[in-house]
Amino acid sequence: MNLKDKLAKIESEIDNGLKLKAADRLRNLINQYPNETGLWDRLAALYYESGFLDAAGRYWILTEPTEDRIKRCVEIYEKSVNYSGTKILQDITFRGDKHSLSEFALKKLTDLEVDSKNKSKYIPTYTNKLNKSKQNTAQYKSTFKDKLLGFAFATFLISIPIFAIIGFIKVIHWVL
């Protein structure tokens, strides 16, 4: 199922009143496609429509506040975490490529990192997540040499107990 089909399913769930399920799916999609800022905006809008203004602010934090509702939600969210850059970075867990962000989002993320470093001497970092199609191509591909070394090591481990048993039998024959 591609991203477009998944979004259509989410919209259908929202229309049927399954907003919690739709929010879960959107969060999963954000983990799968962290660079798709449209997913962040859609989840924030869903939270806003549902009355969760602080949660909406959490997902609008990297969006330029072009509307009063975005600005208000981000302010509510920042106040709820005591304006802590560390807490905000831990909450949003941005795992995408920073360089694919808009200028505003990149500046905001950098400001949060600077604030976190200044106040707590710590910057939360997260590794990029690859979606399933990229995971298959990025997996380790073993070469013939790697397989040969693995086989040799396994053979060595198996031969140790065999030689120990043979040695034990020889010692018993000498004693008798």
Confidence check: pLDDT of 109 > 90: no
Is residue 141's pLDDT more than 80?
Answer: no
Alpha-helical regions (H) of the chain: 3-15, 19-32, 37-50, 53-60, 68-80, 85-92, 103-120, 132-138, 144-175
Which of 1.25.40, 3.30.70, 1.10.287, 2.60.120 is the CATH number of 3-120? 1.25.40
Residue 131 clears pLDDT 70, i.e. is over it: no
- Judged against a pLDDT cut of 70, whether residue 65 lies above it is answered with yes
pLDDT on residue 175: 86
Is it the case that residue 104 has pLDDT exceeding 80? yes
Q: How far, in Å, CA of 39 to CA of 129, rounded?
A: 15
Residue 76's pLDDT is 96
Going by pLDDT thresholds of 50, 70 and 90, the confidence category of residue 134 is low
From the list 28, 26, 31, the residue with the least C-alpha distance to 42 is: 26
Question: CA 143 → CA 125, 133, 147, 149, 150, distances in Å?
Answer: 32, 22, 6, 10, 11
pLDDT band for position 127 (cuts 50, 70, 90): low
In DSSP notation, 47-88 reads: HHHHT-HHHHHHHHTTS---SHHHHHHHHHHHHHTTT-HHHH
